Amino acid sequence: MANIFSGRVAVITGASSGIGLATSIEFARRGTKVVMASSNKEKLEKAAEPIIKDGYDVITVKTDVSSEEECQKLVKKAVDTYGGIDFLINNAGISMRARFADMDLEVMRRVMDINFWGTVHCTRYALKYIIERKGTIVGVSSVAGFHGLPGRTGYSASKFAMHGFLETVRIENLKSGLNVMIIAPGFTRTNIRMTALTGDGSAQGESPRKEEKMMSPEYVARWILKGIVKKKRNKIMTWDGRLTALFQRITPAMVDHAYYRAMLNEPGSPLAEK
């Protein structure tokens, strides 16, 4: 991988664990100055501590991406500390698992606030700095942003919204040298399923899937950097996802039924008859 990252500046949300932490480490190892952001200050600082001890140039900024003000402060801190921003990785996210008919609408608002509005807030304030350096904005998404997933209404809605937003930002800046990439990993070994919201807003607390069979956060992080080097616009990381993106345009009803069966067969599926 070409090292275009040395001396550059990356802002990464959701950086206290999972894909965000792995991506922070991957950037730091390539000489990037990294701004790690997360809503949990204690967890964030603990995650960053070994990276800083290894001599890498990293700072942490407590940021709840659902807050426009906190995202503005995040960008200001990055610019005040390092002079600009080259890469924004919109990774902070939350999932949910419930039938729409059984879901408190506050669950959908919470998911949209973090997954969609978090991306909007950070991108809004970082955009001019990234354009100045002809840098890259990344949205960490999912196959749920290409086809609706039953039992994941709010999550799919947030990822569809993210796609539309980032695609429009890309088109509006075609002449500026800005690169915008949407990356859609498959199921990844992170805590997102444990923290997923149920219909009443409480955390799910356990994963309905076999975590050991999932791709690693480190694998996803490497692909994020590869995609930046190659100036990718979309990177769907699984064959299932690629086939979904293809066939939902050709035989969408078939994809509907396939996802219904897949989600129905999850342990504890909200689609199961009560």
pLDDT per residue over 37-59, tens digit each? 999 999 999 999 999 999 999 99
Would you say residue 206 has pLDDT above 70?
no
- Give pLDDT tens digits for 78-129: 999 999 999 999 999 998 889 999 999 999 999 999 999 999 999 999 999 9
How many Å apart are CA 258 and CA 260, to the nearest integer? 5
Active site residue 129: no
Question: What tokens appear for 177 in the block?
Answer: 């040298």
pLDDT (0 to 100) of residue 257: 85
Catalytic residue among 155, 219, 259, 260: 155
**Is residue 132 a contact partner of residue 182, using CB atoms and an 8 Å limit?**
no
CATH of 9-264, one of 3.50.50.60, 3.10.350.10, 3.40.50.2300, 3.40.50.720: 3.40.50.720
Rounded CA separation 20/14 (Å): 5
Q: How many CB atoms lie within 10 A of CB 109?
A: 14
Lowest-confidence region among 149-153, 187-191, 244-248, 264-268: 187-191
Q: What is the pLDDT of residue 194?
A: 63
Domain positions in the chain are 9-264
Average pLDDT (139-161) is 91
Which of the listed ranges 194-208, 228-242, 247-261 does the model predict with the highest average pLDDT?
Answer: 228-242
Quote the longest CA-to-CA distance of the chain. Answer: 56
The per-residue pLDDT for 189 is 66
Instruction: Return the higher-pLDDT residue of 10 and 269.
Output: 10
Mean pLDDT of 12-31: 96
CA dihedral 41, 44, 50, 53 (to 10 degrees): -50
pLDDT of the residue at 266: 77
Confidence at residue 124, expressed as pLDDT on a 0 to 100 scale? 98
What does DSSP assign to residue 87?
Answer: E
